[in-house]
Amino acid sequence: MTGVLTLILMFAATGDTTANTAWRGDSLFYAMRYAEAISAYDSLLSIRRNDPDLLWRLARAYVCYGESFEDHQRKELCLKADTLARQCISVNESIGEGHTWLAGALGYIALDEGMQRQAELSREILVEANRALELNPRDDAALSIKGSLYRALGKVDWIRRRMASLLLGGLPDGGFEEGEAALLQAIAIAPNVMRHHYELAVLYYDWERWSEARIEFAKAADLPIHVAIDIPRRDKAKAFLKVLANR
């Protein structure tokens, strides 16, 4: 993803205030102060309207803020991320992060939808994640999102897939094997991101590959906190390890 230094240089021509605002938005985001980061990005967007690099950053901030909730706030924040990511894509379709964070937003939105809408969203998530990876094959976030989607698809049995094909327009092909491949790629690119190991661990758990699940949950539990959801994610990893102790 575009680095902080690149963003600052990009905005240098508009003066120190603009550059400092860009720096402040990113620093607040990495400090997990999402509401403040959103405010900082918004203030800069009022100066640089429809700037795609700001739009995807705002989408990312809304997704990371939204995923820290488990109530209606998650969907509300991710719907805002959806809008911003689509704006980014409409301005410049070739910026991969727009597609990545649209896929991320849709993944959370799908959790609160009915079966037909979930089927539709699953297809769109895969399209967006694949487009992000066409633009940047080393986008570990897009790979991780893709892995999570395939993990969910791996839990859908043949009968439900057949029903989805007949009634809901079908589901994407793929399952645990494809999910494992995507998540292993994400880990190879970014081995210290907790999400990648945790999602792979849950995939192995769902696949009943207990020893591999234990290894990945243990790795996830030992990794640093990068985003707010990593805090409950670490607790869940430890809880899974207790369940797996006797398997």
Cα separation, 77 vs 201, in Å, equals 27
Is the pLDDT confidence value at 6 over 90? no
Three-class DSSP category at 193: coil
Comparison of pLDDT for 162 and 81, the residue scoring more: 81
Q: Does residue 139 carry a pLDDT above 60?
A: yes
8-19 pLDDT tens trace: 223 333 344 445
Residue 159's pLDDT band (cuts 50, 70, 90): very low
Q: Is it the case that residue 164 has pLDDT exceeding 90?
A: no
Asked if 81 and 101 count as a contact pair (C-beta separation under 8 A), the reply is: yes
- Taking residue 113's Cβ as centre, other Cβ atoms within 10 Å add up to 14
Query: Does pLDDT of 2 surpass 70?
Result: no
From residue 40, alpha-carbon distances to 19, 52, 82 in Å are 11, 15, 19
With a pLDDT cut of 70, the percent of the chain lying above it is 84
Closest by alpha carbon to 104, among 138, 73, 79?
79
Backbone dihedral angles phi then psi of residue 196, each to the nearest 5 degrees: -60, -45
pLDDT, averaged across the chain: 87
As given in the structure block, the two tokens for residue 17 are 């205030």
Asked whether the predicted pLDDT for residue 133 surpasses 50, the reply is yes
Q: In 10 A of CB 224, how many CB atoms? A: 9
Tokens 């494809």 correspond to what residue?
178
pTM: 0.87
Is the model more confident about 174 or about 163? 174
Q: What is the pLDDT of residues 61-115, one digit of tens each?
A: 999 999 999 889 999 999 999 999 999 999 999 999 999 999 999 999 999 888 7
Across 197-224, average pLDDT: 98
In this structure, of 45-49, 177-181, 186-190, 211-215, the range with the lowest mean pLDDT score is 45-49
Grouping H, G, I as helix, E, B as strand and the rest as coil, residue 217 is helix
> Is pLDDT at 137 greater than 60 in this prediction?
yes
Q: Specify the pLDDT at position 22.
A: 62
- Mutual angle of helices 194-206 and 140-154, in 10-degree steps: 20
Q: Which of 138, 54, 126 is nearest to 91 (CA)?
A: 54
At 119 the pLDDT is: 84
pLDDT of residue 11: 30
**Contact criterion met (CB below 8 Å) for 47 and 18:** yes
